[in-house]
Amino acid sequence: MSKYLTGDKNGIAEFISRFDVGSTTPKVFLFDCDGVLWSGDHLFEGTVETLEMLRSKGKQIVFVTNNSTKSRADYKKKLESMGIPASVDEVFGSSYSAAIYISRILSLPPSQKTVFVLGESGIETELDSESIPHIGGTDPAYNRLIDPKDYTSIASGETLDPSVGVVLAGLDFHLNYLKLAYAFAYLQRGAKFLATNTDTTLPSAGSLFPGAGAISAPLIAMMGGERPMAFGKPSQAMMDAIEGKFRFDRKKACMVGDRLDTDIRFGIEGGLGGTLCVLTGVTISEKEWGGEDREVVPTAWVKRLGDLRG
């Protein structure tokens, strides 16, 4: 059963301190960003003070985001613009996880190292940081309506880059038919199908908008149901990377998020000591995890992150 902590000073103190006992490794609090710290450009009340309180208690703060549109450096700038001190090393994004996998783990033929990107500059920046060649993405050449001659040139392979070995799908604010046509053509020719994340929705401005999952969904349908390998929460590839960086005891770590299917599942499947759900994003009611048959139930929940101040 999930414990309600808003207004419960003793319960909050007990929850925070439970991650301190019997461990000399960092006590890590993993935070989702969109829907937890802010919505769009609106910072939730009490966010800065809550993070400062946790740091004062010796907690290692790590910002874990599935939003692929921003690089780690971009997120650092946004955090600091909102009064939240952060270093690049404290930010783990789905674009970064995908870039690490492509450069250090994925085995590709020497002649097929290029990535075709469906996404924004955040993906491109992280690919550049790993010296991974890429096309598509924010290139203006792809941000146009498809022309009748494109069908012939794509079908014949005339305008396809033979060095493309990966199609990487993330949140793309400029998705169009031409980009999907190219991505599908590369997949049909054997390119690996990867996704930064598959979140169906994106919380912003107090509402929900299409997420990165809406970008890969058409390709999944075109490929007969084949799903991409995804690197955002709840993928444990991201958890492994975070653990490798900070060397923490998972039982002394907590995941804080607003989504049951990504954030809370990420913490549960990662074997963390606890999970905390806030109701300022995708999840808006504790009824969403009610029922004995639910697999994804947070350890505790608050109405908003600032409630942890007691």
Is 258 assigned a catalytic role?
Answer: no
Residue closest to 304 by CA, chosen among 44, 72, 107: 44
The b-or-e profile of 21-54 (16+ CB within 10 A means b, else e) is eeeeebbbbbbbbbbbbbbeeeebeebbebbeeb
To which residue do tokens 């929900």 refer?
208
Short-list 177, 36, 196, CA closest to 117: 196
* Distance separating alpha carbons of residues 117 and 162, to the nearest angstrom: 15
Q: Got the DSSP string for 46-101? A: THHHHHHHHHHTTEEEEEEE--TTS-HHHHHHHHHHTT----GGGEEEHHHHHHHH
Q: Which of 34, 74, 199, 258 is catalytic?
A: 34
Question: Which tokens sit at 235?
Answer: 């993928």
Catalytic position from the list 8, 32, 128, 139? 32
In whole angstroms, give the CA distance from residue 304 to residue 26: 25
The answer to whether residue 249 is catalytic is: no
Q: Which residue has the tokens 């096309």?
A: 135
Distance separating alpha carbons of residues 30 and 206, to the nearest angstrom: 22
Residues 133 and 79: beta-carbon distance below 8 Å: no
Closest CA to 305 of 257, 272, 239: 257
- Residue 306: DSSP 8-state: G
Tokens representing residue 282 in the block: 């995708």
| Number of neighbours of residue 225 by Cβ within 10 angstroms | 7
Provide the annotated active-site residues: 32, 34
